[in-house]
Amino acid sequence: MATWKLIKLKFERCPAHFGELGIGMESTTERVHSDTLFSAWMSSFARLYPNEIDALFNRFHDDALPAIRISSTFIYRETDKGTIYYLPRPLKFPVNYPQDNDLEFFKTYKKLNYLPLKVWQRWYQGEGFTSADRQELIARTNGAKGGNLDAEGTFDYKQAFKIEKVPKIAVDRNTRATNLYHTAFVYFEWNQNGNSIQSLSGLYFLLHFHQDDVELATRLEDALKLLGEEGLGGERSSGAGRFKVEWNDIPSDWQSVVEHPDTLTSHYLISLFWEDDVSQLLKYFLKTFKIIRLKKNRCLLQELIHNFAL
């Protein structure tokens, strides 16, 4: 029997650095993609259970029935009305979306890169886009607040975190010359009551087991807790990326999102997807970049494949 879990990563007041592709440390995203999470998680699993990691990887060879599936991480935010789970807004317009693309509300609509779960379900699985939504978006464009979308936290995504740059000094090992640079960190919303720290926001992801496997679930949870102690992302040597794990059964309001009825007409992807295998990717590099010394430097090849897959 298939099993779904919803797992929260609570960073409390610990900053994190989830670097962007490119040179430098001055940018960070607010969340982690599925490939980064899986790699870090499996590394912790291998350290905790070195004799079992090969057997676990062998269970992924069956593409139709892998041992587990995970989503990328997304923002959650605790409010006095409950927990808001944000999901990426699909490129496809919602059900009953107006065809005229009226700029009065489209300017605000296109900025909604992430939607609360309830709004996502209503727009894409329920009654769809309504005239009240249109009027509220128009009012929002003109500076007014209030309405159903506002009450559901549709416009509050960026209140769950903040990104700040921290100055740092690099010292040359030979000349002892110093160089000033900045590193960006993401801080998730939290508050403190006495000695108790409460995470008001953080990251969550979905975990799917093809069949109920209590032993594997226990080992994966232990490995994730170990990862939380070591840190996720960059700047771990500075104490960044540490989190606490909250392992939950998937809430009932998620059932319509993860279930696949026979009448399903489209799918929604919430993890990274790469359709080509490694042999095809290798041919791409050999043809495009004309790398001559790959056989002498397999580490370089593995690094290139990893970076390209991102």
Exposure class string for 276-305: b at 16+ Cβ within 10 A, else e: eeeeebbeeeeeeeeeeeeeeeeeebeebe
Summarize the confidence of residues 132-140 as an average pLDDT. 91
Which domains does the chain possess? 3-258 (3.30.70), 278-309 (no CATH)
Q: Which helix (H) or strand (E) holds 113?
A: none
- Name the strand (E) or helix (H) holding 22: none
Minimum mean pLDDT range among 63-67, 150-154, 176-180 = 63-67
pLDDT of residue 305: 43
Using one digit for the tens of pLDDT, what is the confidence trace for 61-106? 765 678 889 999 999 999 888 899 999 999 889 988 888 766 778 8
pLDDT of 119: 95
Mean pLDDT within 266-273: 83
Q: Give the pLDDT confidence of 279-292 residue by residue, as tens digits.
A: 555 555 555 544 44
pLDDT digits (tens, 9 = 90+) for 163-174: 998 888 888 888
Identify the pLDDT of residue 24.
Answer: 58
Q: Residue 16 carries which DSSP code?
A: B
Model confidence at 132, pLDDT cuts 50, 70, 90, reads very high
> Could you tell me what percent of the chain has a pLDDT over 90?
43
pLDDT for position 126: 87
pLDDT (0 to 100) of residue 276? 57
More confident residue, 263 or 215: 215
Mean pLDDT taken over the chain: 83
Secondary structure (3-state) at 91: coil
Note the Cα 68 to chain centre separation in Å.
Answer: 17
Q: Which residues neighbour 247 within 8 Å (Cβ) at sequence distance 6 or greater? A: 5, 7, 221, 224
Gap between the Cα atoms of 219 and 277, Å rounded:
29
Please say if the pLDDT value at position 211 is more than 90: no
Region 137-156: mean pLDDT is 90
pLDDT for 227 equals 95
| Residues in contact with 6: Cβ distance below 8 Å, sequence separation at least 6, in sequence order | 204, 205, 206, 207, 248, 249, 250, 251, 254
Q: Which is more confident, 278 or 150?
A: 150
pLDDT at 280: 59
| pLDDT for the residue numbered 122 | 94
CA 94 – CA 24 distance, rounded (Å): 38
Above 80 in pLDDT, residue 230? yes
Note the pLDDT of residue 158.
92
Q: Which of 116, 142, 90 is nearest to 270 (CA)?
A: 90
Q: Compute CA distances 287 → 258, 291, 293, 307, whole Å.
A: 40, 8, 14, 17
Q: Enter the DSSP assignment of 249.
A: E
**Block residue for tokens 């009240």:** 132
pLDDT interval class at 60 (50, 70, 90): confident
